[in-house]
């Protein structure tokens, strides 16, 4: 249980957003959810509406998230962003957050297990400098809008930073799969396969609410994978 109740605004009441609201209420927070229809082009996110919001949590869509981030930053509202598909703008968003003096946590995946998986990837990365080839495969439900997934892109970045080698990604969309990410490392003599499978979206929602509790009252720009061990 969080030490104090927060006023949280959930943007994007889709499947994950609804779970975020549920988890937040279970943890004693006040929650308001805003539908995309009410917030076209971030129109609802005025300074007046955001005045008493401690943290806005965004699980919307790539075509909405940048406007939401700009509006919240203008209103000096702290954010947790689980939406992906905007990472080409990271430096611009970081600069805006730092200029505004607000708090911001973003992540391709708020699951504790996936963030542990990033650390396992880092440990496996030296294989790419020792005659192993690498490839990432990600499988998600047919409704997912971005491909490759933000998690797969982050996995590739973790591997590249640790080894200097950039691996390929294959994206597959089928049924209602919550999320499966696999790294395959192949050499002439053996094969290593590392897989993370999400069984429920609730793991993402729990991580997002913990991130909101952590960033409330703090300033700065953080990636979830760098702070998750502090939660």
Q: Is 140 a catalytic residue?
A: yes
φ, ψ for residue 228, nearest 5 deg = -60, -25
State the residue for tokens 């990271």: 90
Is-contact 5 28, C-beta < 8 A? yes
3-class DSSP assignment, residue 228:
helix
User: Pick the catalytic residue: 76, 130, 141, 144?
Assistant: 144
Apex 28 CA angle, 15 and 49, nearest 5:
70
Q: What angle do CA 87, 90, 93 make, to 5 degrees?
A: 130
Q: Is 95 a catalytic residue?
A: no
**In whole angstroms, what is the distance from residue 23 CA to residue 134 CA?**
37
CA distance 156 to 167: 6
Which member of 15, 129, 130, 140 is catalytic?
Answer: 140
Q: Which residues are catalytically annotated? A: 140, 144
């Amino acid at each position: 249980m969080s030490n104090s109740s927060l006023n949280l605004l959930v943007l994007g009441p889709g499947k994950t957003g609804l779970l975020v609201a549920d988890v937040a209420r279970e943890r004693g927070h006040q929650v308001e959810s805003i539908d995309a229809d009410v917030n076209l082009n971030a129109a609802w996110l005025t300074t007046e509406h955001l005045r008493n919001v401690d943290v806005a949590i965004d699980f919307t869509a790539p075509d909405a998230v940048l406007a939401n981030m700009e509006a919240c930053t203008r209103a000096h509202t702290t954010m947790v962003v689980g939406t992906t598909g905007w990472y080409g703008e990271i430096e611009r968003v970081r600069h805006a957050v730092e200029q505004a003096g607000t708090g911001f946590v973003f992540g391709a995946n708020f699951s504790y297990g996936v963030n542990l998986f990033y650390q396992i990837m880092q440990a496996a990365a030296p294989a790419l400098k020792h005659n192993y080839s690498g490839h990432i495969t990600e499988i998600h439900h047919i409704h997912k809008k971005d491909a490759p997934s933000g998690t797969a892109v982050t996995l590739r970045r973790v591997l590249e930073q640790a080894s200097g080698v950039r691996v390929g990604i294959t994206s597959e969309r089928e049924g209602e799969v919550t999320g499966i990410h696999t790294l395959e490392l192949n050499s002439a003599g053996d094969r290593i396969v590392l897989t993370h499978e999400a069984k429920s979206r609730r793991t993402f929602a729990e991580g997002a609410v913990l991130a909101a509790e952590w960033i409330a009252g703090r300033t700065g720009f953080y990636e979830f994978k760098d702070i998750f061990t502090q939660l």
